[in-house]
Structure 1
Amino acid sequence: MYTVPDTAIAPKLEAYHFHEQDWEDYDQLYEAFEWEIPDEFNVATYTCDRWAEVAPDRPALLIRDDPHDQGEYTFGELQRAANQLANLLESRGVERGDRIGVNVPQKPEAVVGHLAAWKLGAVSVPLSTLFGTDGLRYRLDDSGAVACLVDESTVDVYRSVADDLDELETVLTVGDVEPREDDGELEFWDALNGHPESFDTVATDPDDDLTIFYTSGTTGNPKGVRHAHRMLLGHLPLFASWFVSMEMTEDDVYWTPASWTWMGGLGCVLLPALFYGMPTVGWTKQFEGADVFGLIEEFSITNFWIPPTALRMMMQEDELAAQHDVSTVRTITSGGESLGGTIVDWVEETFAGADIHEGYGQTEANMVVGGCAPLFPMRRGKIGRAAPGQEIAILDPETAEPTVETGEVGEIGFKYEGNPTCFKEYWNKPRKTENKIRNGWLRTEDLGTLDEDGYLEFVSRKDDVIISSGYRIGPEEIEDSLSGHDAVADVGVIGVEDEQRGEVPKAFVQLADGYEPSDELAEELQQYVKDRLAKYEYPRRLEFIDQLPTTATGKIRRADLQTRHDE
């Protein structure tokens, strides 16, 4: 059986290796599990340093179409590069607690950037490569980032906002970029040359800041979600049960199309994989369903997380499945929106013998609920059961008290106190934190039910957040962006059903005087948002409206817009 080593710098935390034991059923595991939180815990130590010590040649990353023509990156190589980057950043004044942006897709430089930040005791800020000017500027400015890694795919966006970022002093470019040295830009690998390959990773408390993920809501600017080093420990129980179906082998290879700048890609797949010493496949190509079958065969992928939207895209290329060997797949996990019976049936037929698990969580607390076929049967329409260590309840939406009867609809809540999975607070937004955590429960703002056996069913969202291809999109951010166009007098955005993406944003635009509706103007407005926000945030549908419905206080009545769309 494959086991994780016990080392002096990273003692084996037995609680997170329950997959090495035999259990009668899930109830036995759930009752036996207790969180194991050491006095000191640094994610870089457990995901990189310990493996570099005992198995430096063990593969950590497998990069498809690697521009460096290397393809495989070992734990030893990641450690040396991360040590060099940590030394470089320290020489440039980066200190413990400082924020470091990582605006790089599924490339080894992204992993090195995060590791270097954590080795310093600094805080990494994952930044989607799909952001436009407004999205990137806001997050770098709000977090007060003093350093940033910028990819070739995003450097033009960064340069257009650089003059607005007074605190950002160190910028490392990744890929085919000619650095503007006069503007403080340095080429990533060139900059590492000459810096020592050794660095003593700082000791951190499990509650010390690790990352700030930005997530959108229905009101105001995106919120910075502060997670501590303990977040990784919080994710491991569901990873060991849901993602790997209670089995790990020396042949395991993991993958996800989710960006490593997103909680789903970084926090739920990559970091747990590195913790257990397993390689993850990275690929920067834009996702296409036809690609997945060949990718699985090339790398003998055993486990992957993929949103329902991507599975639907794969279903459209069904004939390709028979042309490739996909027999290595043991478990497919998904989340972000409901799977639906059609997808489950297709997966079970196409990946014969593989488990298909749905999961549930959010940026503030992920890896909380999911399936585990080896220990309990899945139920159609149900997400699964609480992960070991997690307590979930259906709360009264008004009082946030767990008083809702079994089977009745209420707000889904997670136990907050003592839960390493949960975020610490919103960055510089104490009032929003207070509203999110009440009576010791983290409120998800989603509605659902729990049955008598503890299976969770998602019913609907309490707010108006749009979930498109697994991304949470705040309508107000799109509204704010569109409002900056001269042709827009007012705008309201809702999510509407989409066969491929689950939901997509639809904008209802009230034009300013002197403008007339046209297909050309609609395309111009869509492009306007594309250029400023993330590519997945632009309104894929747009309708011109004479007058937006509003409340007496001027708030947009999105329910009325939904009714108009449905008619």
Structure 2
Amino acid sequence: MQPTIPEEYLPDESAAPDYVYTTPEVHYPKHVNVADELVDRHVREGRGDNVAIYFEDEEITYADLQERVNRMGNALRDLGIEAGDRVVVRFPNRPEAVVTCLAVQKIGGVALPSMKLLRAKELDYIINNAEAKAVVVYDDLVDEIDKALPDLETVENVIVAERNDVDHDHHSYDELVEAADSELEAYETERDDLALMLYTSGTTGRPKGAIHTHRQILATADTYARYCLEPTEDDVFGGNPPLPFAYGYGDLVTFPLRFGASTSLVEDASPADLLEAIENHGITVLCSIPTAFNQILSQHPDGPEEYDVSSLRVGMSAGEPLTPNTFENFEEAYGIDLLDGIGTTEMLHIFISHRHDDEEIDPTATGFPVPGYEAKIIDPDTGEELERGESGLLAVRGPTGIEYWDRPEKQADAVEDGWSIPGDIFVMREDGRLEYKSRRDDLIISSGYNIPGPEVEAVVEEHEAVSEVAVVGSPHEERGEIVKAFVVLEEGHEGSDDLVDEIQNHVKNTLAPYKYPRDVEFCQSLPRTETGKIRRTELRDQEREKTAEAQ
């Protein structure tokens, strides 16, 4: 075990998931270092001149990236960072974030990317919980670190990347890197040593630290990416998921660098920024969330004519369910399939999806278990496996699994007989495809009926006047809950009683009538997390508060 990691913070063996390694690519040697595999290996094998990172007008080759990682790794060592130490990395999607995470991992430390919108109180909890020793931060984001600093118990050094002339009294990123040696041998980490910590958004309580090893990071690329995307070194991955989001870390760091391909980084990308990056950087694999794909379609209806998007070959979607409507509209406009996928911070990346070369991608289903993973549907009360066609809790096992840092009570809830339980309700169809129903928390129980909110959302979204929708359960004295839809309208449409009737009738005519939204509220926007997920918890709480006030 890495010397500075307290053993009591890791899951007890009895509560840890069982890992299975059914694909040959995930059998790694005992000693492996993810930074060496993602960067140094390509230089050793003659790909040093290949572009690793596109950022604005800059092209960073693998040889350039190796030198930057080496210098940063040596700079961190010079400040006393040791194997096992946790280092917070707080940036938008910029090269310095990738360099720093890889440098931390190369010296045997644990990178802890931080969402840029977190405030001092949230940072205080996460940094102290992880017992982080250092923070590397973009100067535009240093203010919340400064506010939190008096309460941070273990942080010894703050390093600031000066890009916007923000005053500070910490170490200078550039000065440390320039003064450091450009040669660095990778620390001899073992495959099960920790390399990455990602904290959940904490929408239902305190954030939980999900821990991932060198082997698990590589396994996400050698299962999902290798089999479902089939990348080559000619690919360019791009998109707007934040790097501290497990989905973004895989899409924009692990996957491209595993295969000697390129990543296109765009800081705070708008839909127009993404289209420009596709044209300028030749993006082939576009990674985003359903909301962003819909924004591209709605804000740039002539996008394929305004920009050169001919490089695109496939899209990836995660974070929220991808509706058939979005799938079909994007395919029609851009000529590529969007692969829906289910993954979690805890499992690190996608474990259920279609493959890019499937003859018939069914947009009404998430897909099949990714090669290397097994999935089954279990009864939430008994844990017994259900027949195909019955809805229940998804249970998964493979080369990654759910392991929390210092949260034994949550760990016990997350694993059932060695299978990880992400908390999603699915149906396994007769053909083996898995159909998403809802998060366990998003199931609406009305008059005894179980109604998955996302199923209703997908139908409401089909109406031409609807831009975005969130469906939650609203308290009701007689029915327990009723289905309520919060609807953001497309430009040029106005809310009215007639439109409510149209939406309700459309749902009644498409789904079982008891699933229709008995209440429809038109709103300007939906509350979202930094990763773009709808905060349905906030909407549910809002409805409960309204009901309580009315009583």
* TM, length-normalised to structure 2: 0.76
Structure 1 SS opposite 2:154: coil
1:324 aligns with 2:307: yes
- Are 1:176 and 2:164 matched, yes or no? yes
Taking the aligned partners of 1:302 and 1:187, their CA distance within structure 2 comes to: 36
Note if contact 2:365-2:433 (Cα within 8 Å) is conserved in structure 1: yes
Aligned with 2:415 (options 398, 418, 437)? 437
Separation in 2 of the partners of 1:112 and 1:557?
40
Cα distance in 2, alignment partners of residues 456 and 291 from structure 1:
34
Residue 126 of structure 1 corresponds to 113
1:161 deviates by 1.1
Counterpart residue number, 1:43: 34
Distance 1:61 1:34 in 2: 25
Q: Provide the C-alpha distance between the structure 2 equivalents of 1:499 and 1:559, rounded to a whole number of angstroms.
A: 17
- 2:129 corresponds to which residue? 142
Structure 1 residue 561: Cα displacement: 6.2
Change (3 A) 1:139 1:247: closer
Match of 2:429 in 1: 451
| Equivalent runs, 1:114-263 vs 2, <5 Å | 114-174=101-161, 175-178=163-166, 180-181=168-169, 185-217=170-202, 219-236=204-221, 237-242=223-228, 244=229, 246=230, 248=232, 250-263=233-246
The corresponding residue for 1:56 is 48
Q: Could you tell me how far apart the structure 1 residues matched to 2:421 and 2:201 are?
A: 15
- Tell me, in whole angstroms, the C-alpha distance in 2 between the residues paired with 1:190 and 1:223: 34
Q: 1:563 to 1:459 in 2, by over 3 A?
A: farther
User: Counterpart of 1:301 in 2: which secondary structure?
Assistant: coil
State the distance in 2 between where 1:247 and 1:76 align. Answer: 21
The answer to whether the Cα contact below 8 Å between 2:304 and 2:333 also exists between their aligned partners in 1 is yes
- What does 1:70-109 correspond to in 2, within 5 Å? 71-109=58-96
Contact 1:312 1:500 survives alignment (8 Å): no
Mapped partners of 1:394, 1:495: distance in 2:
28
User: Can you give the 5+ residue segments of structure 2 that lack an aligned partner in the other structure?
Assistant: 1-20, 444-452, 458-471, 473-482, 491-524
Match for residue 296 of structure 2?
Answer: 314
Determine whether 1:422 maps to 2:401: yes
Is the CA contact 1:102–1:124 (under 8 Å) kept in the aligned structure 2?
Answer: yes
Q: Does 1:397 align with 2:397?
A: no
Q: 1:293 aligns with which of 265, 275, 278?
A: 275
Report whether the alignment pairs 1:273 with 2:256. yes
CA RMSD in angstroms comes to 3.3
Please give the secondary structure, in 1, of the residue aligned with 2:425.
Answer: strand
Query: What secondary structure sits across from 1:369 in the alignment?
Result: strand
- The 3 A distance-change label for structure 1 pair 202 and 258 is same
Q: 2:47 is aligned with what amino acid? A: A
Helix, strand or coil at the partner of 1:149? strand
**1:409 equivalent in structure 2:** 391
Rounded to whole Å, the distance in 1 between the matches of 2:534 and 2:285 is 31
Percent of counterpart pairs with the same letter? 29
Contact 2:352 2:366 in 1 (8 A): yes
Q: Could you tell me whether the CA contact under 8 Å between 1:218 and 1:464 is conserved in 2? A: no
- Counterpart residue identity of residue 38, structure 1: P
Distance 1:564 1:368, change over 3 A: farther
Residue matched to 1:549: none
2:515 aligned residue: none
Q: Compared with structure 1, are the counterparts of its residues 135 and 497 closer, same or farther at alpha carbon in structure 2 (3 Å cutoff)?
A: farther
| Offset, 1:180 | 3.3
CA distance in 1, matches of 2:245, 2:145: 19
Are the counterparts in 2 of residues 103 and 127 from structure 1 also a CA contact under 8 Å? Answer: yes
Alignment deviations for residues 143-162 of structure 1 (CA, whole Å, 9 cap, x no partner): 11111111122111111111
Q: 1:378 to 1:84 in 2, by over 3 A?
A: same
Which secondary structure does the structure 1 equivalent of 2:206 belong to? coil
Q: How does 1:467-486 map to 2 (within 5 A)?
A: none
Residue aligning to 1:374: 357
What is the one-letter code of the residue matched to 2:186?
Answer: T
Q: Among 335, 340, 363, which residue is 2:318 paired with?
A: 335
Structure 1 range deviating more: 390-399 or 456-465: 456-465
Normalising by structure 1, we get a TM-score of 0.74
Does the residue aligned with 2:187 lie in a helix, a strand or coil? coil
Work out whether residues 252 and 278 of structure 1, in 8 Å CA contact, stay in contact via their aligned partners in 2: yes
Q: Matches of 1:251 and 1:428 in 2, distance apart? A: 41
CA shift in 2, pair 1:34/1:561, >3 Å: farther
SS class of match (2:399): coil
- Secondary structure in 2 matching 1:73: strand
Q: State the match for 2:510 in structure 1.
A: none
Equivalents in 2 of 1:133, 1:562: separation in Å?
A: 30
Shift of the alpha carbon at 1:422?
A: 1.9
Distance in 1 between the 2:131 and 2:231 partners?
42
| Contact 1:233–1:421 under 8 Å retained in 2 | no
CA distance in 1, matches of 2:178, 2:195: 26
Equivalent-residue separation in structure 2 for 1:495 and 1:307 (angstroms): 23
How many pairs were matched up? 454
Q: Partners in 2 of 1:114 and 1:63 — Cα distance?
A: 17
Shift, 1:420, TM fit? 2.3
Report the residue type matching 1:86 in the other structure: G
CA distance in 1, matches of 2:489, 2:261: 31
Asked if the contact 2:236/2:284 (under 8 Å) is kept, the reply is yes
Query: What is the correspondence of 1:496-507 to structure 2 with a 5 Å cutoff?
Result: 497=486, 499=488
Q: Take 2:485 and 2:203, find their aligned partners in 1: how far apart are those partners? A: 15
Q: CA deviation at 1:240?
A: 2.1
**Aligned counterparts of 2:314 and 2:484: Cα–Cα separation in 1:** 31
When residues 193 and 289 of structure 1 are mapped into structure 2, their CA distance, relative to the original with a 3 A threshold, is closer
Distance in 1 between residues matched to 2:250 and 2:535, nearest whole Å: 28
